[in-house]
A = this chain, B = another copy of it.
Amino acid sequence: MLIKVVNPNTTWSMTALIGQCARAVSSPGTVIDAVSPTMGPASIESHIDEALCVSGILEQIALGEEQGADGYVIACFGDPGLDAAREATSGPVVGIAEAAMHAATFLGRGFSVVTTVGRTTGRAWDLADRYGFARQCRGVHACEIPVLELETDPDARTIITEACRRAASQDGSDTIVLGCAGMADLRAHIEREIGRPVVDGVAAATTTVQSLVTMGLRTGSAAPSHVRENT
């Protein structure tokens, strides 16, 4: 099975990290191909970034279709281009916010999201609403570390860990959801520190796609947008 994990930004060190975290949870027979678009924003921290990275995601999916990829992960917590990607391939496509929020709901009644910068929190709420988790999402918290400083700021691990601890306590949440693909390698550390389950979306989305492919499930090719007659 070939799963393409698309990091929609063009920062290759982050793509490498994402690939590593995806491989750590995939089955023996699964090949993980972690890629970035050839061009696009270096990080996704605004709605403009989200919009501008979609053509790069579609480009990678087109490549994946040629390679015979079985499914796709969109490895940015804003889940950019998810609807478009599902039209571009019948293989399952899963976003990391989507997968992480879903996984969190299996572990307790409520979760809190801890994300990078404050301007991305609105998007996280929008996604929780869209996926049906307005009730389960108890809070979205920024630790105010820009995406590209996650790797370089020596205090990043401590700051994020403390933000997670505070979020869980303030919101009374059972679970923490990490709000950026760039935090994927911190999961186990934070979980040990705060004593509550911590979900990383890269791992969650990778295993979700792997499961859907194993079950033979594909996005309905005839069915991207049916009529709901009545709400």
B contact residues around A7 at 8 Å (CB): none
B contact residues around A88 at 8 Å (CB): 48
A216, B191: Cβ atoms under 8 Å?
A: yes
Oligomeric state, in copies: 6
B contact residues around A122 at 8 Å (CB): 109, 224-226, 228
Number of interface residues of A (CB under 8 A): 91
CB interface residues, A 170-195, toward B, < 8 Å: 170-175, 187-188, 191, 195
Q: A103-B211, A197-B220 are in contact. List 9 more A-B contacts (CB 8 A).
A: A25-B214, A46-B224, A47-B86, A52-B54, A106-B208, A107-B218, A121-B228, A204-B211, A230-B230
Q: Which residues of A contact B (CB under 8 A)?
A: 25, 27-29, 46-48, 50-52, 54-55, 58, 81, 83-84, 86-88, 92, 94, 98, 102-103, 105-110, 118-123, 125-126, 128-142, 170-175, 187-188, 191, 195-197, 199-200, 203-204, 207-208, 210-212, 214-220, 222-231
